[in-house]
Chain A
Amino acid sequence: NAGVTQTPKFQVLKTGQSMTLQCAQDMNHEYMSWYRQDPGMGLRLIHYSVGAGITDQGEVPNGYNVSRSTTEDFPLRLLSAAPSQTSVYFCASSYSRGTGNTIYFGEGSWLTVV
């Protein structure tokens, strides 16, 4: 089982560049989300989606864009990278309701903006 797959694992960007972090899941989960993890701050929700064509903002959405054209994919776009976006990014997915809604995480993408 592939689970939640994120690419790339490591990336260095220059300030002002744009890029897309890819996330795919093969569990037919309705719910997908992106988090960033910074030292001492835990995980903070950037954007989330409850199904194809439906997205919403989390706690820290500024500077990021998402779309959900299929159930499987949920890419995160950095529009104009800033050093403050240096972080570890995690994609996650789960069923939206019911007892089987354990959330599954990808391995993370380490992003450095210089």
Chain B
Amino acid sequence: KQEVTQIPAALSVPEGENLVLNCSFTDSAIYNLQWFRQDPGKGLTSLLLIQSSQREQTSGRLNASLDKSSGRSTLYIAASQPGDSATYLCAARGDSSYKLIFGSGTRLLVRP
């Protein structure tokens, strides 16, 4: 059974800092891994999707990496801004299943 873990649960950093959010999964037979952002009281917005054959994806100040062998993905945020404050969730989709299994998220606060 796939389990997805995100550490830390919460993170507070000063504006301008580069930061890394971690996501680990127990079953390496994944189809893809996706990172989402959730603002309070809102739905989830997809940030980056990494297919199992890929090692990383980039969008603006965001870079996500995937290492299937170690069961890890990281989301790198460069030059953080207060507007980046949100909860970030990762989710792994199984290779033989359509199920998307979520981590419990990292709540990020970027202080001005």
User: A: which residues have CB within 8 A of B?
Assistant: 31, 33, 35, 40-45, 48, 50, 58, 90, 92, 96, 99, 101-108
Contact = CB atoms under 8 A, between A and B. Distances in A.
Interface residues of B, number: 22
Nearest to B6: A42
B112 interface: no
Contacts of A43: 44, 89, 91, 102
Contacts of A107: 42-43
A102 B49 contact: yes
Q: Give the interface SS of chain B, mostly helix, strand, loop or mixed.
A: strand
Nearest to B41: A108
Contacts, number: 50
Interface stretch (B13-21, B62-70, B71-79, B93-101): B93-101
B49 A42 contact: no
A26 to B, nearest CB: 16
